[in-house]
Amino acid sequence: MDWFPLINSLRIAAISTVVVFFLGVGAAQLIKKLPRLVKGVLDVVLTLPLVLPPTVVGYLLLLVLGPRRIIGAWALETFGLRLTMTWWSAIFACVVVAFPLMYRTARGAFEAYDSALTDAAQTLGKSRRWAFWRVQMPVCRQGILAGAVLAFARALGEYGATSMVAGYTPGATATVSTTVYQLWRTGDDALAFQWVMVNIAISAVVLLAMNWLEGRPRTQGGRA
């Protein structure tokens, strides 16, 4: 059994989660301070990939990253980099589809945060940046970690957008999801079932991690 699809899926999901973590936390922190109308509009825009069909997301990405499109052509001519049909092309798709989960979860955690804690830190001479990383993030870490786990799970199981942007090439761009589909399409049900069981096992671990995070007591000021 070739384990490349699993290794590829895990590295794509891991890299995507790191990117989504910083983008989601940054967007949540910024947008929660904006006026209600602006916040509502941005919420719609940033959450849209969560409700769009993955194939639609993949098509839109191809319109931007394709070798004959503006960004794709620029990257190919300037750096010799093809932004589609490579293993790391799937990262673009996973970032887009997983971002709303991280963003919405982080924003919910930040909106429940007591800003008086930040004000207290500033009265002690600490900067707002220090208060964000040393006070606000530890207090909100339960929700932030839950969002990161959800984003990882979403990226790991992504198929539609990934298959359109990265395609399926054994040993190069294959992921667990695309491998299951290709094995089913070619009639190899036995091997497809093995990959399905691998996916179920990983999903179960993710759900256990989610339940563990939700069951932990909330913290205050970074301490239990």
**pTM to 2 decimals?**
0.87
* pLDDT of 216 strictly over 70: no
Per-residue pLDDT reduced to its tens digit, 113-166 = 988 998 898 888 888 889 999 999 999 988 898 899 999 999 998 999 999 999
CATH 1.20.970.10 fits 4-215, yes or no: no
How far apart CA 76 and CA 66 sit, in angstroms, is 10
Tell me how far apart the alpha carbons of residues 125 and 149 are, in angstroms, rounded to a whole number: 34
**Listed residue (218, 212, 35, 25) closest to 114, CA to CA:** 218
Which residues, 6 or more positions from 46, have their beta carbon under 8 angstroms from its beta carbon? 27, 31, 99, 100, 103
- Helices and strands (H and E) in the chain: how many: 11, 0
Own/partner contacts of 16-20, CB < 8 Å, gap of 24 or more, are: 16/91, 16/94, 16/95, 16/98, 16/151, 16/152, 16/155, 17/98, 17/148, 17/151, 17/152, 17/155, 19/91, 19/95, 20/95, 20/98, 20/99, 20/101, 20/102, 20/148, 20/151, 20/155
For residues 219 and 221, what is the distance between their CA atoms, to the nearest angstrom? 7
- pLDDT tens-digit map of 23-57: 999 999 999 888 888 988 999 999 999 999 999 99
User: What integer pLDDT is reported at residue 219 of this predicted model?
Assistant: 46
* Averaged pLDDT of the chain: 89
Tens of pLDDT, residue by residue over 176-193, are 999 999 999 999 999 999
48 in helix, strand or coil?
helix
> Domain map of the chain by residue range?
4-215
Euclidean distance between CA atoms 12 and 87, whole angstroms: 8
Q: How far apart are CA 135 and CA 22, in angstroms?
A: 17
C-alpha 111/C-alpha 3 separation (Å) is: 42
The identity of residue 200, as a single letter, is I
From the list 4, 14, 21, the residue with the least C-alpha distance to 143 is: 21
